[in-house]
Structure formats: structure tokens, C-alpha cells
Amino acid sequence: MLIATLLPLLSRYSLGFDLVTGPDDTVTLTVIPRKPEGTTHKLEAGETRPISITATAQEIDAELARGANGALGQLIASRRNLADQLAEQRQAAEDARKAAADAAKAKPAPAAPKTTPASNAAKVAVPASPPADAKPEEPASLW
């Protein structure tokens, strides 16, 4: 029953298991999703978060017997939907990156518009020669 319940996760991840006994005949089952061999993408933190169930052995068996309708089955289905969404977003981001790179290669870089500093600044009349009444030993008057 355990393996049948975990098959949706096994299609995307390598799984590790940890079983620990506790007080009062309780058992903690921890399922640890890992990156499968041969994959290139990095797993997100939410994808690799361990799933833990603590209950008696009979309660865990009963929960696993519920299959997809049980809490573990619903959690696995939610994680699978999350993984599908992440894969779609990764693919969309990769497609957008490729499209932008192709567009940049196809379009030549626009030439920078030529602007002259004099055309943007206000023109000030500067006399070419000093006034006729200017004396070399005195500064020119503004009035």
C-alpha cells in the first residue's frame, strides 16, 4: 500500500524513507523527496520538504489504505501539481530567454542619436572684441 500511494512522487523524485518508533507504540514515517539521477534542473525547497506522519502503525496503515483520498494521497497530489506548475514556469522562462536572445541577434543595435551640446544650450552672445571704451588696466563693466 505504501509504494502504491507514493507512485506519483516516484515518477518525479527519488524517495528516501525514515522509520522511527516513539513512545506509546507510535511510529514516525518520514518520506524524503530527492533529486532523481540524471535530471538537470535544481529542485525548489518546497519540492524537497520531507513528509512526516506520526501515528500508531495501524493508523498509518489505515491512512495509506485510503490511497488518493487520504491525507498523504492529497498531499502527494498537491505536490505533484506544484511540481507541474514549476516545470511549466521553468519551460516558459527558458522559452522567453531563448526568444529574447533570438530577437537580440536578429535586430541590429540602434545607432545612438547625434546631439550637439550647442543645440541644446541657450545661445549667449559673446562679443568678439572688447568694447571701444575698455581700458586694459580696468576690468570690463557689466553695466
Q: How do the domains of the chain map onto residue ranges?
A: 2-106
Task: Please give the pLDDT value at position 110.
Answer: 65
pTM of the model: 0.52
Q: Between 30 and 83, where is the model more confident?
A: 30
Provide mean pLDDT across the span 122-129: 64
Query: Which of 40-49 are b and which e, b meaning 16 or more Cβ less than 10 Å from the residue's Cβ?
Result: eeebeeebee
Provide mean pLDDT across the span 3-18: 78
Query: Using 50, 70 and 90 to split pLDDT, how confident is the model at 127?
Result: low
Mean pLDDT, all residues of the chain: 78
Provide mean pLDDT across the span 10-34: 86
Q: Dihedral of CA 22/27/33/34: which sign?
A: positive
CA distances from 38 to 19, 57, 61, 119 (A): 27, 35, 33, 63
User: Does residue 125 surpass a pLDDT of 90?
Assistant: no
